[in-house]
Chain A
Amino acid sequence: DSGVTQTPKHLITATGQRVTLRCSPRSGDLSVYWYQQSLDQGLQFLIQYYNGEERAKGNILERFSAQQFPDLHSELNLSSLELGDSALYFCASTQGGGWDEQYFGPGTRLTVT
């Protein structure tokens, strides 16, 4: 158990809808990273938050957004969903804002129908 929790485990929704994925980092970790894993693209970094502030952005679509709350949990919001958004979404956490060994949560499997 990495100590990182993610909910829900599975999510099935229709095209055009909006969903929210939740991540709680390990105790004491201030940074949360979001990654998307799809069959064709592999694991791709989306966005990082450190202590409530956006720190780095990767291949995140404009339809996606994230935030980190004062209690350090983070939410990833996906809107106007398309079939191609079906993927596994992982969050990882580290103590600091820069490079450190990342511990991944169990992921949320999103299926868009």
Chain B
Amino acid sequence: GQQLNQSPQSMFIQEGEDVSMNCTSSSIFNTWLWYKQDPGEGPVLLIALYKAGELTSNGRLTAQFGITRKDSFLNISASIPSDVGIYFCAGPRGSQGNLIFGKGTKLSVKP
């Protein structure tokens, strides 16, 4: 079935550094989503991508929809302590509305 593989699993960075993480699949996705989850909270939608090759920004966050439609990337520039959390990629399962999620990338930022 469809699966999303995220890497890296975790990252430990210094405040101010840039961060890159990615998500790959063996299947094609027509939409890619990036969510962030803070401890004890629900996932919050950061960026939605709808077209292959699309590059979309939300503040210091930039995400790209891969040309092959089998991958997506999320970059965070000039990280700050509140960027700490788990970042998930997700995509709709076929024509259904429910989402498939990657296992997440856990980000830790040292002040």
Contacts and interface: CB of A to CB of B under 8 A. Distances in A.
A101 B45 contact: yes
Contacts of A33: 97-99
A71 B33 CA distance: 29
Contacts of B103: 42
Interface in B86-111: 88, 90, 92-93, 95-104
Contacts of A102: 45, 97, 99
Nearest to A105: B42
Contacts of B44: 2, 104
Interface residues of A, number: 29
A44 B35 CA distance: 15
A31 B92 CA distance: 15
Contacts of B8: none
B56 interface: no
A105 B95 CA distance: 23
A4 B31 CA distance: 23
B43 A90 contact: yes
A94 B45 contact: no
Interface of B: 31, 33, 35, 40-45, 48, 88, 90, 92-93, 95-104
